[in-house]
Amino acid sequence: MSDLEARQRRLASNQALFRLVNAQVRELNESFEGLSGSVFVCECANTECAEHVELSLADYQRVRDNDHWFFVAASDEHVFPEVEAVVERNERYYIVEKVEAGAEIADETAIS
């Protein structure tokens, strides 16, 4: 395995962990359906990141519908180009898509 592939796999695994956390957060947010937005944790590859991201439950589900997509705080410092490409930007968050070895990890850790 090349150094790049190993890094891609590690970064994608970090993001998969945040995706699992957010699946649990989503369950809590559903209890408060009347609210306009729900707060999730940034799904960037930096395990020390503590940023919060506000998404509607519909937007959250739209991201979860694509196993290669993750949402990160709206800043380029949360994007890791060696493992992902930005597919959407707005003022609250970016959607990134895993590529190469990162996409494989995203598939292996997908939430049903």
Q: What is the pLDDT of residues 32-81, one digit of tens each?
A: 555 556 889 999 999 899 899 999 888 989 999 999 999 999 999 999 99
Confidence bin at 112 (pLDDT 50/70/90) = low
DSSP, collapsed to helix, strand or coil, labels residue 102 as: helix
pLDDT band at 16 (very low <50, low <70, confident <90, very high): confident
Q: What is the mean pLDDT of residues 14-22?
A: 80
User: Looking at this protein, which amino acid is placed at residue 28?
Assistant: L
CA 4 from chain center: how many Å? Answer: 20
Residue 34 is predicted with a pLDDT of: 53
Q: With CA atoms as reference, report the closest residue to 69 among 18, 27, 26.
A: 18
pLDDT at 81: 94
- Band of residue 106 on the pLDDT scale cut at 50, 70, 90: confident
